[in-house]
Chain A
Amino acid sequence: MRQYANVITAYIIMIILIILVGVFQSWNVALSILNFCLVSAVMTMGANIQWGYAGLINFGIMGYTALGGLAAVLISVAPVQEAWAVGGLDMIVCLGIIVGMVFSIRYVLKKIQKSKKRNYIIAAIIIFGLIVLRIIAGPATEHIEAVDPAKTGFLGGLGMPILFSWIVGAFFAAGLAYIVGKVALGLRADYLAIATLLISEIVIAVIKHEDWLSRGVKNVIGLKRPVPYEVDLQNSTWFIDLVEKFHSGKLKLINSLAERQDVLNQLVIEASSVYVKLCLAGLFLIVVIILLIITQKALYSPWGRMMRAIRDNDEAANAMGKNVVKEHLLIFILGSAVVGIAGAMMVTHDGLFTPGSYRPMRYTFLIWVMVIVGGSGNNFGAILGGFVVWFLWVEAAPIALFLINFFTSHLPETNALKIHLINTAPYFRFLTMGIGLLLIMRYRPKGIIPEKIVKQ
């Protein structure tokens, strides 16, 4: 038990911090921090599978997150019948053409010897395919986007419960990871970092600008939820009774009936959003625990030991007969799939999909800070990293504001420096992150909870 003491202490401190936010700010804020901490924890687990287990650097986390989000849209939104009527068939034909192109190129690669002729044939297939695609898809996208552009203007989805999208998001991300891995995994570490970063930018560009698929920068709002809506809760008697019972002591102090009803209404509104967030937190927690059990089992299985061997010395592992290339590809796909789940979870939590908000700072580099700070190679460390860093990211601005006010309290309200500092308080979160990362990398390079190798 003693060896886990520091892990347990770290998590208890974290929970106390979140509870403190609940007490001092509001339970709503605390719960939304908790929810995003859980989502971040899933992302860091994905990144940790790649970096901590296998030493693969993946700066494309943003792309997989966005694909997960796209999955949520494509699964849960009801299909737009008119759009399918005007352009759906053409789009399916296009998909067929792309598949046909891929297979014909594969066929050519297999059948014809490596020569100039082969290159010309492949180039011809690609160019011909692109022209045909353009001719078919061009008018079709225009028709689709013309269908009620203020509300839909896209094909819509399958109209299934959004929870399915968590799995589908994982498959989407895994599919992308398969392509990326096939293409880029042979590169050296820093090239791989840059290549994955740029590929994720391409993914975002496509999602942003293919309006027929994802509505692009027009955003998709009002996605379905796996949990009840606030408005429904506020109108259901069992919920009001529950809130009344919960706050009965407080309500008894108020004498006038009308006043009591007002206070109760306030409480119900507040409690309904807390309740919704609690439900989501429960769902997220289930995902985190399932993933944690699986990853923990995998880490201490023979497969996990082999991954560590490949990470620490891939040449030796290769000499022992392990297929390094295959295992790298596998772990790249697994890690990305986990990140895809997180992407779908996040869109589920927000209830909206905004391709414009996917930025590398927030979705790639911040996740990396989480992994490094928490402790790479250790699942508990990675999850803790997600909690700590997300907590700081959200709370840095209020803390900075408090400190600025404290240190400049002797200055008058109109002091230019003070006003400037208060206006820039949100940017102190970047400073906190940067300095935190630099300090951890310098003085505790293995993270808050370092990797532990269990010897049998």
Chain B
Amino acid sequence: MLNYIIVPALSYGSQLALGAIFVTLIYGILRFANFATGDMMSFGTMFAVLLTWYFQSLGISLGVLPTALLTIPFAIIMMILYMLIIDKLVFRYYRIKKSPPVQLAMVSIGVLFVTQAIVRIIIGPFDRRFFDGERFILKANEFKEMTGLNEGLTIKSTQVITIVVTVIVVSILFWFLNKTKTGKSMRAYSDNEDLALLSGIDPNKVVMITWMIAGVLATIGGVLYGLDKSFKPFVYFNNMLPIFAAAIVGGIGNPFGAFLGGYVIAFAEIFITYAYKKFFMYLLPESLEPDTLMQLLSTDYKFAVSFSILVIVLLFRPTGIFKGKVL
């Protein structure tokens, strides 16, 4: 139970949560739905992968930890540069013109195409694994020996890294948004743009900081996902959809909601498609043992589950679960 539901759901949820905060920040401050989310994440991850290969060829490593963690800061710098360039060349024009959000969303589709092309031209569309270091923290056999139970518990090191890194990043982010002056000015800008401008907040600075935070989140989220599974541009593009679902379920424009939304989506996906056969085998006497897998829905419908949740939330509570507070 713990093995196949809670641990994977926590790590998958963390990856979604980072992406969802990214979406929600862009939505709250720049006021458009960014369809290029998944590909921006793959763009950041691409640099991490390339640098990991470079470091590996130089012989630099972190021992038991994956080398990719070392490359994240460099990848983040590249990513922020890319985002600022994109903003300067593309989004700024529409922001100053005060175009409607739909137009900005269309523009972000253009960015989506370009980013996807760049990633595929540089690194190719293939599946890449760039994980190195220790694979497991806890192996099934060791756990059995330690506790004497007859079911194994496996924890991959990537899962632990994912959860730890997410917690650190998200707490720094919330500290930044709630306690520092820049963070407060960002929240003010998101609440009421005109009022914020009147009280002397520099819009250019707010937008720049937003893109920088977005770059950090996108890169870290992307690298963590890539470490846990593998790096493949097409998969990243598809990940955009559950990320959007998480952001909206949590209440778009609300980072805390997005953070929780990521976990809601991840747990729902895994709970509903989990095969409960083993679970019932332990609970029920042998005569009642189920002969099917006892899945509520087959695993094929993993994505469909999260989208159905989203549709239901949109219907009954369009502002998301955690409404009220904007950013």
Interface string of B107-124 (1 = CB under 8 A from A): 101111111111011001
- In the complex, A442→B106 CA distance in Å? 11
- The verdict on A428 contacting B241 (CB below 8 Å), with A206-B304, A435-B114, A438-B114 known, is no
Is the beta-carbon distance between B307 and A431 smaller than 8 angstroms?
Answer: no
- In the complex, A238→B307 CA distance in Å? 56
Cβ distance A373 to chain B, nearest Cβ, rounded Å: 10
Q: Restricting to B67-118, which residues have a CB under 8 Å from any CB of A? A: 90, 93, 100-103, 105-107, 109-118
Contact among B115, B120, B241 with A424 in the assembled complex (CB-CB below 8 Å): B120
Cβ distance A451 to chain B, nearest Cβ, rounded Å: 15
Interface string of A414-441 (1 = CB under 8 A from B): 0000000101100111110111011001
Contact among B110, B303, B304, B307 with A437 in the assembled complex (CB-CB below 8 Å): B110
Cβ distance A16 to chain B, nearest Cβ, rounded Å: 27
Tell me whether A372 is interfacial, beta carbon within 8 Å.
Answer: yes
Is the beta-carbon distance between A202 and B318 smaller than 8 angstroms?
Answer: no
Is the beta-carbon distance between B109 and A365 smaller than 8 angstroms?
Answer: yes
Is the beta-carbon distance between A438 and B303 smaller than 8 angstroms?
Answer: no
Is the beta-carbon distance between B33 and A194 smaller than 8 angstroms?
Answer: yes
- The verdict on A191 contacting B314 (CB below 8 Å), with A368-B109, A430-B116 known, is yes
Is the beta-carbon distance between A205 and B301 smaller than 8 angstroms?
Answer: yes
Tell me whether B55 is interfacial, beta carbon within 8 Å.
Answer: no
Tell me whether A262 is interfacial, beta carbon within 8 Å.
Answer: no
Tell me whether A198 is interfacial, beta carbon within 8 Å.
Answer: yes
Is the beta-carbon distance between B101 and A189 smaller than 8 angstroms?
Answer: yes
- The verdict on A190 contacting B101 (CB below 8 Å), with A195-B310, A198-B310, A437-B110 known, is yes
Is the beta-carbon distance between A198 and B318 smaller than 8 angstroms?
Answer: no
- Nearest-neighbor residue (CB-CB) of A441 within chain B: B107
Tell me whether A209 is interfacial, beta carbon within 8 Å.
Answer: yes
Is the beta-carbon distance between B106 and A433 smaller than 8 angstroms?
Answer: no
- Nearest-neighbor residue (CB-CB) of A430 within chain B: B117
Tell me whether B237 is interfacial, beta carbon within 8 Å.
Answer: yes
- In the complex, A365→B118 CA distance in Å? 17
- The verdict on A209 contacting B102 (CB below 8 Å), with A194-B248, A369-B109, A430-B116 known, is no
Cβ distance A401 to chain B, nearest Cβ, rounded Å: 13
Tell me whether B171 is interfacial, beta carbon within 8 Å.
Answer: no
- The verdict on A195 contacting B301 (CB below 8 Å), with A369-B109, A434-B114 known, is no
Is the beta-carbon distance between B314 and A57 smaller than 8 angstroms?
Answer: no
The residues of B that contact A92 with a CB separation of less than 8 Å are none
Tell me whether A187 is interfacial, beta carbon within 8 Å.
Answer: yes
Q: Restricting to A147-200, which residues have a CB under 8 Å from any CB of B? A: 183-184, 187, 189-191, 193-195, 197-199
Tell me whether A208 is interfacial, beta carbon within 8 Å.
Answer: yes
Tell me whether A201 is interfacial, beta carbon within 8 Å.
Answer: yes
Q: Restricting to B7-55, which residues have a CB under 8 Å from any CB of A? A: 32-33, 35
- In the complex, A270→B248 CA distance in Å? 54
- Nearest-neighbor residue (CB-CB) of B107 within chain A: A441
Is the beta-carbon distance between B300 and A427 smaller than 8 angstroms?
Answer: no
The residues of B that contact A189 with a CB separation of less than 8 Å are 100-102
Tell me whether B315 is interfacial, beta carbon within 8 Å.
Answer: yes
Cβ distance A450 to chain B, nearest Cβ, rounded Å: 15
Cβ distance B245 to chain A, nearest Cβ, rounded Å: 7
Tell me whether B298 is interfacial, beta carbon within 8 Å.
Answer: yes
Interface string of A47-59 (1 = CB under 8 A from B): 0000000000100
- In the complex, A195→B102 CA distance in Å? 14
- In the complex, A372→B308 CA distance in Å? 29
- In the complex, A202→B105 CA distance in Å? 22
The residues of A that contact B103 with a CB separation of less than 8 Å are 441, 445
Cβ distance B197 to chain A, nearest Cβ, rounded Å: 23
- Among A205, A368, A369, A434, max chain B CB count under 10 A is at A434
Cβ distance B15 to chain A, nearest Cβ, rounded Å: 19
Q: Restricting to B280-327, which residues have a CB under 8 Å from any CB of A? A: 298, 300-301, 303-304, 307-308, 310-311, 314-315, 318
Q: Restricting to B183-235, which residues have a CB under 8 Å from any CB of A? A: none
- In the complex, A202→B90 CA distance in Å? 32
Is the beta-carbon distance between B241 and A372 smaller than 8 angstroms?
Answer: no
Contact among A201, A424, A442, A445 with B121 in the assembled complex (CB-CB below 8 Å): A424
Contact among A190, A421, A431, A437 with B109 in the assembled complex (CB-CB below 8 Å): A437
The residues of B that contact A421 with a CB separation of less than 8 Å are 121
Tell me whether B152 is interfacial, beta carbon within 8 Å.
Answer: no
The residues of B that contact A429 with a CB separation of less than 8 Å are 117
Tell me whether A286 is interfacial, beta carbon within 8 Å.
Answer: no
Cβ distance A308 to chain B, nearest Cβ, rounded Å: 17
Cβ distance A180 to chain B, nearest Cβ, rounded Å: 9
- Give residues in B with beta carbon < 8 Å to A: 32-33, 35, 90, 93, 100-103, 105-107, 109-118, 120-121, 124-125, 237, 241, 244-245, 248, 298, 300-301, 303-304, 307-308, 310-311, 314-315, 318
List 5 other contacts, CB 8 Å, given A372-B106, A423-B124: A189-B100, A199-B311, A202-B304, A368-B109, A429-B117
- Give residues in A with beta carbon < 8 Å to B: 57, 183-184, 187, 189-191, 193-195, 197-199, 201-202, 205-206, 208-209, 361, 365, 368-369, 372, 421, 423-424, 427-431, 433-435, 437-438, 441-442, 445
Q: List 9 A-B contacts (CB under 8 A).
A: A191-B318, A194-B248, A198-B307, A198-B311, A201-B304, A430-B120, A431-B114, A434-B110, A442-B93
The 7 closest A-B pairs by CB, nearest first: A434-B113, A434-B114, A430-B117, A431-B117, A198-B307, A437-B110, A427-B120
